[in-house]
């Protein structure tokens, strides 16, 4: 075990360590590749006449490392050889001389085996037969085909079949729920074939921590899906393909912005502190799943309970996601796969603003509701109406002091606007384009397997005045070689590069504010002189997109892995690997100045939203290294099966970030720090790092494959906590009982194939979300304090705050009970789990210190939380007698979390408190809207919410505490007035539905995803409408606001300057649950008889649609996955694709 000082030394001396391991990786990788390929690349030159085969083989052996093996009798009586060849490969030479001698060859490593060629197949004729199950009953609809051809048939109602085949051919027999069989045709005419139940579901290999296990032997809560669920879907990142597929794996994508990634959560609420999420490992190391290509993924396993995740100790407290990338197979011929996908996309939801006339009438009514004069007088309205009714003959700008323009009052240089601009329609494309390409090669020989791929992804953006894009390149190389019977070497190289190009975020923010809440429909895109509009505070997103500069982010992510696998004797396997990662992120933000043009020439001014011009460069460099060594021993004694694994893990990461900004560029079009005259600001300059190490073990035992017991444990240490609190032991225990294996269950075997009950309990730690050196008091530094001393600026260093001397892990104790089952010859498979997760010692405020101390009390490990949840997974697959295969999948999960301990002596309901459920929302109970002045006068006192005059159309609230007034009391648990818990914003009942089928080359897949309920309390002027004369509501808000002519409206009366109706309340609680068709794919596989002439083993074309429709009760301005009308919208995608295998 490494002592705490080693962590610090590792971080200080990381350069030497990384260089050492990089050399090892390079040597291992070169060696792994070179061993199987050196001999094959060796060129041969021969020139012989009337030579024996022995002579030819001898000359080849002299020129290459190859050695020939054959029986003397097989080559002695063959005709002599005449051949002349220069610089040919071993395959070229042997193909020229052996077929004419009725010989064939095979190569294993450097050994060439010569054998007689197989005899040709005999005459083809009709073969008949019957297929029965193990009980002797006929199987209806079993599929029979001739291997390597498109010829096939199915059994009839009596299990009989008839097919034409020649001796030497192979019949492939398959049926859902049974093990497929291969029958070699001989001279026999009638065949009786018996099929046995398929145990593949039990023998399926599942990726677990530091290894794999049979699904049948699992005692923990683990879900796995294959990479097939990602095929043919037009997805930009892995998370989009996993959403709704695995129960209680909650995947969230922030928006439809090109390059937007996904975030992951396992089993719901984790901690009151931010940043607590699952550990995500790709091929055993921490990696960003948003950067990899989905086409490279072989499988995804989610370790949910403490029993399965305990082997990762301090980082597995909130689940572990294991992503395994593809690899080749030994003795598998090289397969080249090419896929291409071209698509168009459009927003699923657009929150449009009202037209100019509706907006003007609306905002004047809002002013009248507050007893104010109209915002736009009759003169102004005359210009608005003229343009609205006849835009061809009336300008969108005017100058008339009598109009009393509220934005440009007393400014004779400015235009007044009266246009009718749909800003979303004018600045966003109705369609944008995507394209994706992937080429891969995989295969292997007796001793080597390999996988090589290259992917390119290009997501086009929606902006009309800027070519916003996201591009990603992925390269993946993986080679494994069995050097000797006991030694295997593996080398891996993965390189991910991405480039996100967006318009400048300017001096205010990012995309969301490109469509600020005061984009008036009056303002046209451009003035009559052709220059962009926008004067003073008016923001013109078209001008910013085209002239304002850019915000560009480039990421380089390189991974190198060297691994060795040693098998000294049967049952024992020793694995060791080291991975090095270099990650760099380069952000370049260029703010470009440009002029805004006004009514009078010579009054031009620099556009305020991009002034002063500037350039900002931010660089982040990470160096990560991970070393693992672990050994596993498997042994069976009679019915007793043992598996013991022990190992050690060490990981270090160092980060260096540097950002610099400079204003006043010398040339407005050359954004370089050295070509600016303003002061140079260092935005950040930080270096940090962390280290973690652990010794772990897993002990599995089962008796007769019916009774299972497993122990997992890890002794973990981290550099993120102070000395004395860095190490802890995290154990778990789990057990399972395969009830279906008992004798008393034999009578159920005709229906029940498998039934297993699981039970687990474990204790894990958590270090995610914890700062690298949070146990050290930090001092703030300001080198640009703004004060002068002796004529020079001074720097400021602030007094550090306090930190707890017992700062340590959160502890997560989790109990899980579940069962797995399989019915009806494995047609129906499912699992169910219920869990109780206790999160202890969360960081929270401690008791306050005396004010005389001059600083606040530090956070301590003092809060607890309980999460209860469950998850269900069901899958059905079958095949009809007509050959139609179909499948149905359903997943459903739910959870709720509650605070069980928190220091809140006053019971403040705006903070955490014991008994509060995560997501609870306090608010008022809505009775309705006032219908008349008499209704207002007769209602209880609401002056504590608003002291002015309540009017018809305003909201009336319910008096819950019976004091004849509406108040919020002291906002404490003991006195909260008329407030109550009125909803919960956490998602409930997450579900996914998968439907699919295949018939005669056609395939159809549909995937629905959604949540049953999520309480949403909308806000902002897009929902409520305007209370300021510069706020622009959505069209929906205008149409649904109360007026005297629309007394039955949904929304209350908007009033200028007043937002008292916009309280959090039951009347405006909306269910954000939804059902969305996430994907529909229709494909057709071209018959092999048509493609094999072009050496194509498989060709499939398909159409795919993503996010095709959504059923929800939300207002139409919201997409249920973003719940923000001002975000870059989620995309609906239509694409066509082509998959080819050679």
The C-alpha atoms of residue 4 and residue 727 are separated, in whole angstroms, by 9
pLDDT score, position 839: 92
- CATH number, residue 175: 2.60.40.1120
Helix axis angle for 378-389 and 356-369, nearest 10°, is: 150
Instruction: Please check whether residues 21 and 111 belong to one and the same domain.
Output: yes
User: Quick check: 1065 pLDDT over 90?
Assistant: yes
Boundary-marking domain end, from 97, 116, 135: 116
Pair type for strands 1131-1141 and 332-347: antiparallel
pLDDT of residue 202: 52
Question: What number is the average pLDDT over the span 6-20?
Answer: 41
The Cβ-side half-sphere exposure at 1113, using a 13 Å CA radius, reads 13
Does residue 948 lie in a domain region?
Answer: no
Task: Assess if residue 21 is contained within a domain.
Answer: yes
Same domain flag for 60 and 40:
yes
Instruction: Specify the pLDDT at position 71.
Output: 80
Give the DSSP letter string of 994-1049.
Answer: EEEEEETTEEEEEEEEEEEE-EE---SHHHH--SSTT----HHHHHTB-BTTBTT-
- Using 50, 70 and 90 to split pLDDT, how confident is the model at 937? very high
Residue predicted with more confidence, 1119 or 18: 1119
For residue 264, being part of any structural domain is answered with: no
182 and 149 housed in the same domain: yes
- The secondary structure of 28-95 as a DSSP string is HHHHHHHHHHHHHH--EEEEEEEE-HHHHHHHHHHHSS-EEE--HHHHTTSPPEEEEEEEE-HHHHHH
Does 93 fall in a domain?
Answer: yes
Q: Is the pLDDT of residue 23 over 50?
A: no
Return mean pLDDT, the chain: 86
Of 68, 98, 116, the residue at which a domain comes to its end is 116
At CA 730, angle to CA 727 and CA 733, rounded to 5?
Answer: 165
d(CA 933, CA 586): 62
CA 270 to chain centre: 18
Shared domain for 98 and 133, answered yes or no, is no
Statement to judge: residues 23 and 111 lie in one domain: yes
More confident residue, 358 or 794: 358
Q: Please tell me whether residues 94 and 138 are part of one structural domain.
A: no
User: Cα angle vertex 207, ends 205, 211, to 5°?
Assistant: 100
The answer to whether residue 97 sits within a structural domain is yes
Model pLDDT for residues 633-663, shown as the tens digit of each residue: 999 999 999 999 999 999 999 999 989 999 9
Backbone φ, ψ for residue 468 (5° rounding): -75, 130
Mean local confidence (pLDDT), 44-72: 84
Residue 853, pLDDT score:
67
614's CB contacts (< 8 A; 6+ apart) are 589, 590, 591, 661, 662, 663, 664, 665, 676, 678
Q: How confident is the model at residue 14 (pLDDT cuts 50, 70, 90)?
A: very low
Per-residue pLDDT tens for 173-194?
887 667 788 888 888 888 999 8
What dihedral do alpha carbons 394, 400, 403, 409 form, nearest 10°?
Answer: 130
Domain assignment of residue 138, given as a range: 125-198
Judge whether 1045 lies within some domain: no
413: exposed, middle or buried (Cβ count in 10 Å: 0-12, 13-18, 19+): middle
Verify that 105 and 38 share a domain, yes or no.
Answer: yes
Same domain, 109 and 129: no
State the pLDDT confidence band at 10, using cuts at 50, 70 and 90.
very low
What pLDDT score was predicted for residue 107?
A: 78
Q: Is 186 helix (H, G, I), strand (E, B) or coil?
A: coil
Alpha carbon distances (Å) from 806 to 688, 719, 788: 22, 14, 41
What DSSP string runs through 830-884?
EEEEEEEEEEEEEEEE-SPPPGGG-SPPPEEEEEEEEEEEEEEEEEEEEE-TTS-
Question: Domain check: are 103 and 142 in the same one?
Answer: no
First-residue to last-residue Cα distance in the chain: 51
Is residue 168 included in any domain, yes or no? yes
Instruction: Tell me the pLDDT band of 274, cut-offs 50, 70 and 90.
Output: low
Q: Band of the pLDDT at 118, cuts 50, 70, 90?
A: low
Label residue 617 by pLDDT band (50, 70, 90).
Answer: very high
- Is the pLDDT at 523 greater than 90, yes or no? yes
Question: Which of 243-247, 313-317, 345-349, 854-858 has the least mean pLDDT?
Answer: 854-858
Q: What is the pLDDT of residue 1138?
A: 93
Contact between residue 215 and residue 705 where contact means Cβ atoms under 8 Å apart: no
Q: Which residues 6+ apart lie within 8 Å of 1012 measured at CB?
A: 988, 989, 990, 991, 1073
**pLDDT over 50 (residue 212):** yes
Return the CATH number at 96.
3.55.50.30
Count how many domains the chain has.
Answer: 2
Checking if the pLDDT of 2 tops 80, the result is: no
Segment 68-83 shows an average pLDDT of: 80
Tokens of 184: 């070699």
Query: Do 49 and 102 belong together in one domain?
Result: yes
Asked whether residue 102 falls in the same domain as residue 24, the answer is: yes
Can you give the pTM of this predicted structure? 0.82
End of a domain among 175, 198, 221? Answer: 198
Please give the share of the chain, as a percent, with pLDDT higher than 90.
50
Measured CA to CA, the distance from residue 933 to residue 223 in angstroms comes to 61
Q: Is residue 221 situated within a structural domain?
A: no
Q: Are residues 134 and 89 in the same domain?
A: no
Q: Which of 193-197, 379-383, 481-485, 799-803 has maximum average pLDDT?
A: 379-383
Average pLDDT of the segment spanning 347-372: 93
């Amino acid at each position: 075990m490494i002592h705490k000082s080693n962590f610090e030394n590792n971080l200080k001396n990381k350069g030497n360590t990384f260089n050492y391991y990089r050399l090892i990786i390079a040597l291992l990788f070169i060696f792994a590749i070179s061993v199987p390929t050196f001999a094959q690349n060796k060129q041969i030159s021969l020139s012989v006449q009337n030579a024996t085969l022995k002579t030819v083989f001898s000359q080849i052996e002299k020129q290459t490392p190859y050695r020939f093996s054959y029986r003397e009798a097989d080559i002695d009586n063959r005709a002599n050889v005449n051949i002349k060849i220069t610089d040919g490969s071993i395959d070229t030479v042997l193909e020229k001389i052996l077929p004419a001698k009725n010989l064939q060859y095979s190569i294993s490593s450097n050994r060439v085996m010569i054998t007689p060629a197989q005899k040709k197949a005999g005459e083809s004729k009709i073969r008949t037969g019957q297929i029965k199950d193990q009980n002797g009953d006929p199987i209806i609809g079993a599929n029979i085909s001739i291997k390597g051809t498109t010829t096939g048939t199915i059994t009839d109602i009596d299990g009989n079949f008839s097919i034409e085949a020649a001796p030497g051919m192979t019949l492939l027999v398959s049926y859902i729920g049974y093990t497929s069989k291969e029958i070699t045709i001989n001279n026999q005419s009638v065949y009786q074939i018996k099929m046995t139940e398929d145990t593949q579901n039990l023998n399926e290999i599942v990726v677990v921590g530091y290894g794999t296990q049979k699904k049948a032997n699992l005692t923990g809560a683990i879900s796995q899906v294959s990479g097939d669920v990602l095929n043919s879907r037009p997805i930009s990142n892995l998370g989009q393909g996993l959403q709704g597929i695995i129960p209680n794996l909650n995947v969230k994508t922030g928006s439809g912005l090109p390059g937007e990634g996904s975030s992951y959560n396992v089993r719901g609420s984790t901690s009151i502190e931010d940043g607590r999420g699952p550990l995500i490992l790709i091929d055993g190391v921490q990696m960003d799943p948003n950067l990899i290509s989905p086409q490279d993924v072989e499988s995804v396993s989610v370790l949910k309970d403490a029993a399965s995740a305990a082997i990762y100790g301090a980082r597995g407290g909130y689940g572990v996601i294991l992503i395994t990338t593809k690899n080749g197979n030994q003795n598998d011929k090289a397969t080249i796969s090419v896929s291409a996908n071209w698509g168009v996309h459009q927003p699923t939801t657009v929150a449009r603003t009202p037209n100019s006339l509706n907006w003007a009438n609306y905002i004047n009514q809002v002013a009248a509701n507050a007893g104010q004069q109209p915002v736009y007088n009759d003169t102004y309205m005359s210009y608005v109406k003229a343009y609205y009714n006849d835009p061809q003959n009336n300008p969108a700008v005017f100058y008339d002091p009598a109009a009393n323009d509220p934005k440009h009052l007393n400014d004779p240089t400015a235009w007044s606007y009266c246009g009718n601009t749909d800003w979303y329609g004018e600045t966003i494309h109705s369609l944008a384009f995507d394209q994706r390409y992937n080429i891969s090669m995989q295969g292997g020989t007796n001793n080597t397997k390999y996988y090589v791929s290259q992917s390119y992804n290009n997501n086009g953006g929606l902006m009309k005045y800027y070519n916003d894009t996201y591009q990603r390149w992925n390269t993946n190389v993986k080679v494994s070689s069995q050097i000797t019977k006991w030694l295997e070497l593996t080398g891996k190289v993965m390189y991910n590069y991405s480039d996100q190009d967006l318009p400048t975020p300017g001096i205010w923010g990012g995309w969301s504010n490109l469509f600020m809440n005061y984009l008036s429909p009056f303002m046209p895109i451009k003035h009559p002189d052709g220059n962009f509009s926008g004067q003073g505070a008016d923001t013109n997103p078209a001008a910013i997109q085209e002239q304002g500069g850019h915000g560009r982010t480039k990421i380089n992510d390189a991974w190198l892995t060297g691994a060795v696998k040693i098998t000294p004797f049967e049952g024992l396997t020793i694995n060791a690997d080291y991975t090095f990662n270099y990650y760099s992120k380069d952000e370049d933000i260029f703010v470009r100045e440009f002029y805004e043009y006004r009514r009078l020439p010579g009054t031009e001014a620099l556009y305020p939203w991009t002034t002063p011009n500037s350039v900002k460069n931010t660089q982040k460099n990470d160096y990560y290294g991970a070393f693992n060594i672990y050994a596993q021993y498997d042994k069976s004694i009679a019915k007793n099966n043992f598996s013991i694994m022990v190992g050690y893990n060490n990981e270090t990461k160092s980060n260096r970030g540097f950002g610099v900004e400079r204003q006043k560029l010398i040339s407005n079009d050359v954004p370089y720090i050295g070509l600016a005259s303003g002061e140079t600001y260092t935005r950040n300059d930080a270096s940090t790092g962390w280290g973690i190490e652990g010794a772990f073990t897993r002990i599995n035992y089962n008796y007769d494959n019916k009774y299972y017991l497993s122990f997992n444990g890890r002794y973990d240490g981290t550099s993120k906590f102070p000395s004395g609190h860095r190490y802890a032991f995290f154990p778990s225990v789990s057990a399972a009982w395969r009830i279906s294996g008992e004798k008393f269950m034999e009578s159920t075997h005709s229906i029940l194939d498998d039934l297993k009950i699981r039970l687990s309990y474990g204790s894990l730690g958590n270090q995610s979300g914890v700062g690298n050196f949070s146990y050290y008091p930090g001092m703030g530094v300001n080198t640009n304090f703004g004060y002068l001393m002796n004529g020079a600026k001074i720097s400021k260093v602030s007094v550090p705050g306090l930190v707890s001397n017992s700062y340590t892990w959160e502890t997560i104790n989790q109990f899980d009970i579940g069962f797995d089952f399989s019915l009806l010859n494995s047609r129906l498979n499912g699992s169910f789990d219920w869990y109780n997760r206790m999160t202890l010692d969360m960081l929270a405020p401690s008791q306050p210190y005396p004010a005389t101390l001059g600083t606040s009390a530090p956070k301590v490990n003092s809060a607890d939380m309980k999460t209860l949840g469950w998850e269900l997974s069901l899958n059905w697959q079958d095949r009809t007698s007509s050959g139609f295969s179909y499948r149905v999948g359903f997943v459903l999960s739910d959870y709720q979390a509650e605070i069980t301990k928190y220091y809140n002596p006053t019971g403040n309901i705006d903070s955490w408190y014991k008994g509060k459920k995560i997501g609870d929302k306090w608010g008022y109970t809505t009775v309705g809207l006032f219908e008349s002045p008499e209704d207002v006068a007769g209602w209880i006192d609401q002056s504590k919410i608003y002291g002015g005059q309540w009017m018809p159309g305003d909201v009336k609230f319910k008096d819950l505490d019976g004091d004849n007034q509406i108040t919020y009391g002291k906002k404490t648990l003991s006195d909260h007035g008329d407030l109550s818990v009125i909803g919960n914003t956490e998602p409930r009942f997450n579900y996914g539905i998968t439907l699919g089928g295949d018939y005669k080359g056609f395939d159809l897949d549909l995937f629905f995803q959604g949540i049953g309920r999520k309480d949403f309390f909308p806000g902002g002027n897009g929902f409520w409408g305007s209370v300021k004369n510069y706020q622009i509501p959505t069209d929906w808000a205008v149409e649904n606001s109360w007026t005297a002519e629309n007394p039955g409206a949904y929304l209350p009366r908007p009033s200028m300057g007043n937002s008292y109706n916009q309280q959090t309340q039951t009347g405006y609680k909306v269910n954000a649950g939804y059902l969305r068709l996430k994907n529909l794919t229709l494909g057709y596989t071209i018959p092999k008889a048509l493609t094999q002439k072009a050496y194509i083993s498989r060709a499939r074309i398909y159409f795919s649609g993503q996010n095709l429709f959504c059923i929800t009760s939300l207002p139409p301005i919201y997409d249920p996955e973003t719940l923000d009308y001002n975000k870059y919208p989620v995309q609906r995608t239509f694409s066509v694709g082509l998959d080819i295998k050679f």
